Amino acid sequence: MDLLAHLRYFRVVAEEQHFGRAALRLRLAQPSLSQRIQRLEREFGVRLFDRGRGGAALTPAGQLVLTQSEAVLDAADRLHSVVGRLRDGEAGTLRAAVPAYLGGATVAALLTLFRERSPGGELDLRELTTAEQTAELAAGTLDAGIVRHPCLASGLSFGPMLHQPLGVLLRDGDALAAEAEVDLRALSGRELAMPPRTNSPALHDETLTACARHGFTPTAIRTVEGLDFTRALIMAEADLIALIPAPPPEPGTAWRPLTSQPVTWRTSTAWRTGHDGPAVRIFTEAADIALRTHAHMYAAAAERPRAARPETEFAL
Amino acid sequence: MRGNGSPAGAAARRAAARITAAFADAGVTGQLHALDVDTGTSVSVTATQLAPTSSLHKVCLLAALYREAAAGRLDRTRQVDIPAAGRTPGLSGIAVMRDAVRLSLRDLATLAIAVSDNAAADVLWREVGIDTVNRAMAELGLPDTVAVHDMTAIRNALLAQPDLTDPAALSGISVLDPSRTNRSTPRQMAELFAAIWRDEVCAGDLAAELRSILGLQAWSHRLASGFPFDDVRVSGKTATLPTVRHEAGVIEYPDGGRYAVAVFTRAASTAAILPAADAVIGTAARIAVDALRTA
């Protein structure tokens, strides 16, 4: 027996206090309605109505069932409505992720902007590497993310591409910290602290290539994960530096922008292709604003390679 | 750098030390000369010691062709009939083609540079002449850059040696001895490229055509590997003999900086395929160019 449906028939009969009028409202034949109410009475083992010529009056047991069934039917309605909004992406929890080095202010702005745009919606936000995000997006355990490029793109769609400029993290008192900004070439002879290459191999290589393009090839790469540990090592070792987006200031180290922003991390939102419901779109909008406003990101014009070499096989 | 104040001289010495260390790490002994085409500032590692040039001399051949063309003594568009028989054997270009072809002098030069086509080069050696090439180099102020034979002669010398994997036997091969084969120094090869880029070999459209040919080399495992940047132009020509790997060329940055570089190496290993020895040519060149760009 479909209890919820039978409770709805019962409620209409109780409201009308008359089988004929209730059957009319429910667009059912009166005998059919009577049978359904009798089935409900058998289910509960009590009589719900006193049936007379004048109509159908609730028994005391019927009165009790009516009161309780209101609560059951309301709860069922709420369940349907919430699941429906979740299905349409308007509410519920969006499982999202951000990479390291976005900054606390950016993440806070992202949460606030998302909530403003999605009343009742929740953001379940984790910090994951780009490699972890692309794997989870593909597996369906993550709905949306903010990834660093280049990353594996198959099966994924991306929001607007933004550039996050890197600066140099130096020990307090380093001669270069006296300048307002640092020429990348002035870092020659330094060791570079970087997260493990396996976190984002393509980004790791692209960052080093951009450094080389602008005249800085570190004498060694030191694998260091996390801002705190990076700061600690830089404070302890004179020649070690890191290239990271602007971090929150903290005594012991100083961060300086690089002259003419030669090295950036390309960053965008990402989601599984075809799974861009309203919540994912709201996330992308909120992320675009948060990244531009709080993480100093900017869009750059597309460029064709200006010095095509024979190995590229097409003259463009 | 050379000729500048002592801080720059110290930077050049630091660069030279890093270059020498890179050569050692790759299992080669190396020579290098790099100069800023516009200022003449340079970085050197045993840059005036003679070495066999082998296919690098195709650049001298190309430069002489364009210098003769500029002087009106040669028509670089003149067509040459090249029958199928009698071509210098090789591994690329018309050296591997099976049928007769008809090509202009400048297209032969293009094949000789782009894919190191030995058959095309030898047609040019006959058409331009070894004496003309040597005279052109001398008049450009490169008197140590001397050709004595064509690609066929070099190949025959290698064919005469039964074992190209025996280091002792290799030391006696004539084409590895700069006094008995085509030769130059890293400094003079870099200066030849600088002269081409400064319009000193020829000028105007002719010079632009000459430079564009030098940008067509198909392989990128040596000099270009040190500059994996989409907006940086690498022009160059390799040379390869047993244990010998060279490349000379020009690196152009979009900010207008241009640097002529020649890197000559001799490997300890006699293996024909030696990726580390190829790659160190790019590594050494970039250390030098970075030093010149910081100067």
Q: What is the pLDDT of residues B17-36, one digit of tens each?
A: 999 999 999 999 999 999 99
Give me the interface pTM, i.e. the ipTM. 0.88
B7 touches chain A (CB under 8 A): no
Question: A115 Cβ partners below 8 Å, 6+ apart?
Answer: A121, A123
Q: Are A42 and A32 in contact (CB under 8 A)?
A: no
In a domain, B276, yes or no: yes
pLDDT score at A304: 67
Question: Given pLDDT bands bounded at 50, 70 and 90, which one contains residue A78?
Answer: confident
Cα–Cα separations (whole angstroms), residue B107 to A314, B80, B91, B249, B252: 20, 10, 18, 20, 24
| pLDDT above 70 for A261 | yes
Q: Do B293 and A311 touch (CB under 8 A)?
A: no
Strand partners, A93: A122
Q: Are B42 and B33 in contact (CB under 8 A)?
A: yes
pLDDT score at A88: 58
In terms of residue numbers, what domain contains B15? 7-293
Residue A268's SS3 state is strand
In a domain, B280, yes or no: yes
- Rounded Cα distance between A168 and A171, Å, is 10
Interface test with A, best of B238, B287, B290 (most A CBs within 10 A): B290
In a domain, B214, yes or no: yes
Q: Residue A271's closest CA among A164, A175, A133, A150?
A: A133
Q: How many domains does chain B have?
A: 1
Considering chain A, what percentage of its residues have pLDDT values greater than 70?
96
In a domain, B162, yes or no: yes
Taking only residues 103 to 122 of chain B, the set having a beta carbon closer than 8 angstroms to any beta carbon of chain A reads 114
| pLDDT above 70 for A167 | yes
Q: Which residues of A119-158 are buried (b: 16+ CB within 10 A; e: fewer)?
A: eebebebeebbbbbbbebbeeeebbbbbbbbebeeeebbe
Q: Are B226 and B286 in contact (CB under 8 A)?
A: yes
Q: Do B254 and A209 touch (CB under 8 A)?
A: no
Distance from CA of B230 to the nearest CA of A (A): 5
B287 touches chain A (CB under 8 A): yes
Q: Do B294 and A307 touch (CB under 8 A)?
A: no
Q: Do B220 and A185 touch (CB under 8 A)?
A: no
In a domain, B73, yes or no: yes
Please give the torsion angle defined by the CA atoms of residues A302, A303, A309 and A313, in that order, rounded to the nearest 10 degrees. 40
In a domain, B153, yes or no: yes
In a domain, B188, yes or no: yes
Cα–Cα separations (whole angstroms), residue B246 to A193, A263, B57, B161, B236: 34, 32, 11, 21, 10
Take residue B227 and report the two structure tokens written for it.
């500059």
- For chain A, how far is it from start to end, CA to CA, in angstroms? 71
The list of chain B residues with pLDDT below 70 reads 1-8
Residue among A185, A212, A310 minimizing CB distance to B218: A310
CATH number at residue B281: 3.40.710.10
In a domain, B1, yes or no: no
Q: Do B290 and A311 touch (CB under 8 A)?
A: no
Q: How many CB atoms lie within 10 A of CB A15?
A: 12
| pLDDT above 80 for A49 | yes
pLDDT score at A312: 84
A45 touches chain B (CB under 8 A): no
B231 touches chain A (CB under 8 A): yes
| A274: Cα within 13 Å, side-chain hemisphere | 4
Kindly report, residue by residue over A207-256, the tens digit of the pLDDT: 999 999 999 999 999 999 889 999 999 999 989 999 999 998 899 999 99
pLDDT score at B3: 46
